[in-house]
Amino acid sequence: DTAVSQTPKYLVTQMGNDKSIKCEQNLGHDTMYWYKQDSKKFLKIMFSYNNKELIINETVPNRFSPKSPDKAHLNLHINSLELGDSAVYFCASSQVDRGRYEQYFGPGTRLTVT
């Protein structure tokens, strides 16, 4: 019954590798987001997609490429991983077209780059 789910929960990889994180929401929402939470717990938006269309792209290196195959899924692919990419990545969703802006977060994916 998880509303927003992410896989994997943990990801450990070496510098230079390419990895993907997947997100799915079963809330019927039209908008999905990727956030990065650094070691100091600071939450910063990276991307948002509305009805599969990229809306927000917050000065994220182009090694990060989101992809939304449908409204319920938003994946994040990261090329040439760097040490500084180590963080917890959260997916979230909301339903903006009905004037409801509450964002619901997934459990996070802890990425460790060695």
Partner 1 sequence: GENVEQHPSTLSVQEGDSAVIKCTYSDSASNYFPWYKQELGKGPQLIIDIRSNVGEKKDQRIAVTLNKTAKHFSLHITETQPEDSAVYFCAAGHNTGANSKLTFGKGITLSVRP
Q: Would you tell me which residues interact with partner 1 (CB under 8 A)? A: 4, 31, 33, 40-45, 48, 50-51, 53, 55-56, 90, 94, 96-97, 99, 101-108
Residue whose C-alpha is closest to residue 79's, from 20, 37, 22, 23: 20
Question: Whole-number minimum distance, CB 11 to partner 1, in Å?
Answer: 15
Cis before 8 (ω within 30) = yes
In the bound state with partner 1, the residue whose beta carbon lies nearer, of 13 and 37, is 37
Question: Whole-number minimum distance, CB 110 to partner 1, in Å?
Answer: 9
CA distance 26 to 3: 5
Residue whose C-alpha is closest to residue 74's, from 46, 102, 98: 46
In the bound state with partner 1, the residue whose beta carbon lies nearer, of 8 and 16, is 8
In the bound state with partner 1, the residue whose beta carbon lies nearer, of 15 and 100, is 100
